Structures are given as structure tokens and as C-alpha cells.
A = this chain, B = another copy of it.
Amino acid sequence: MDSKTIIAVDAMGGEGSPKKIIDGIKLSLEDSKENFFQIYGDKNLINSLINDKDEINEYSEVFHCDDKVADDDTPLSAAKKNNSTSMWKSIESQKNGSSQISLSAGNTGALLILSRLILNMITGVDKPALAGLWPNKIGMNLVLDLGANIECSEKNLIDFSYMGAALYKALYPDVEPKVALLNVGSEEIKGNEVIKKVFQHIKKTNEKNFDFHGYIEGNHIMDGDANVIITDGFTGNIALKTAEGTANFITTNLKKSLTNNIFGRLSSLLSFYALKDFKNKLDPRKYNGAIFLGLNGPVVKSHGSTDSRGLAYSIKMCSKIVKGNLIKKIKNNLNI
């Protein structure tokens, strides 16, 4: 067990929990035995989902919690529940050193505030960022902030750049992080005052932490020329959700067109095989898991409505983050 990544899982957050969480852990164990799970939540409910012979018994320990953070809890009401909740305890386990990373599919706002309360910010970092994966033409992008901070200062965006590059390196050790600032044009004079200052600062100070790509426009996010996309939480959240909405719109229309007439129905039958690749590549479960950056410990937020397969993907992400020494890499990049 010593060499395993120890993941503290909040079993009670998100739709269909705790079943989805337990099934997700079981799926991840089919793929790899590299992790050990601390499972936090209602012991009776959780145990009812596990048979004596299940492999999960060997790779996990259940920690009973009387309460949970509900979807309609405010960050304040969640914090008031203190250490009675599965979310709180799954984060706290990192503080006392018994786990290495925390994973929850629960209430995002509460998770952010509890993580900050319990783990504290890395000295010198003012605000945490929410980072997520997004496919590009040749591999994967990391985009941050996706909504933790509605307004960002120059310093916030600079911190996000260095932390994002560190996370990229932890997740993809073989790919060079190429950082770009999301903007309305690619020329130096474009954008608001904050982003122009960030551009100048990084241009002057960044030496070896990452390749600085300058500005990037929305239509080039998926080109693959840059892979770490930096923006404030307002713009990042809207950009990500707009991309989701567009993808959904196109695939819905495509499906309609393909079943509208006899040619379409015939081609649908045939293209079922051809489109497998396509669906597989764009499967949103593969990108499931947003990472909170800037805290003294890694916390991963799974999408509340993903399924057990999506949760298994976020478990894989947790393992990569711990093995990639994320917190150490962030401190190195920030010279802390």
C-alpha cells in the first residue's frame, strides 16, 4: 500500500451518489491498482453497495460521516456544518497527512471555500483558480480560471500562468507547457489594461518555466499551438460553457439530419462504426475533473452529473497529479 496514491473521496456529493462514486472506484480498479481510496460518507449506505468479495475491499477504507454538504448549501452553511460532513473530512485527511489528494463531485462553491479554509493558500498566492481540460487538435489544453474568481487582478493572472504551467507538466510530463492569455486579438495593443500588464510582465520575467505564446483568440483555443489558456473566471466560465453548448447544438443537428431521410438512415447505420472514433475522442467524461490550484494540497472537483465512468477518469487525473508532484512544481515555478 505504501507506494499507492492515497485518494480521499467524498462519496456523498453529486447526482446519484454514493452509488456512482462507489461504481466509479470499482471501474478505476479494473483499470489500475495504483490507488488506495479513503471513502468518506454514510457507512451504512456505502457498505450496502459493496459485496464481501468485491476487489474494492482490498483497496479502500470507509470513514463514516454523519452529514454531507447538500447541493443547496451556501459556502457559509456548508462551513457551519464543520467536520461533520464527508466533504470536510475528505479534505481534512490531507491536512493530517493520511491522504494525498481529495476528490468530490459535490457543491463547487462549498468545496472551494472548505478547501481554502482547511488547506489554506500557498504563501504568496492570493486566490485559488479552477482549472479544467479541454481537447485541442493535437492533444489537450488546460484552461483556467473556469469560474472561481469573477474578477482577477494582474497578480492573479500571473499566478494562474505559473500554476497552470506546473499543473500541465504534472499531468503531461512529456509535453512542454505553452501558455497563452485569452484575448480579443493577437496584437500586443489589444485587450483590457489588466491583460496588457500581465502580457508585459510575463514577457519580461518568464525565463524557463514555460514557453510564452502571448495572446490567443477564442477561435484558436483548440488549434494546439498553446496548451495552457489563462483567463479570468468570468470569461473562462462563459467560454467553456459556450463551447459545450456549441458542441451539443452541432451534434444534435447532425443527428437530426442523419435520420431525416432514407439516405440519412442508411448512412447512420454505416457511420455508426465510423463515428465511434469521433464520439470517443469528444466524450466529455474523458475531460471530467477540474483542479483547484493555489492551495497547499490538490483538490479535484468531478462534474456533479457525470457517471461512474466519468468519475473513474477523474480518479486517474488524481493519480497523475500526485505522481507529478503538483504542489512542489507550483512552488518551484513561483519561486516559493
Contacts and interface: CB of A to CB of B under 8 A. Distances in A.
Interface residues of A, number: 62
Contacts of A267: 266-271, 274
B263 A246 contact: no
Given A258-B271, A278-B253, A240 B218 contact: yes
B239 A218 contact: yes
14 contacts: A184-B238, A217-B241, A218-B239, A218-B245, A220-B241, A221-B242, A222-B248, A231-B238, A242-B243, A246-B246, A253-B278, A256-B277, A264-B273, A266-B270
A150 B241 contact: no
A137 interface: yes
Nearest to A278: B257
Interface in A208-225: 217-223
A282 interface: yes
B274 A263 contact: yes
A333 to B, nearest CB: 26
A191 B150 contact: yes
B184 A237 contact: yes
A257 B241 CA distance: 25
A229 B260 CA distance: 31
Nearest to A274: B264
A121 to B, nearest CB: 22
A254 B271 CA distance: 10
A77 to B, nearest CB: 14
B184 A150 contact: yes
A218 to B, nearest CB: 3
Interface in A285-318: none
B184 A234 contact: yes
A261 B273 contact: yes
A247 B254 CA distance: 12
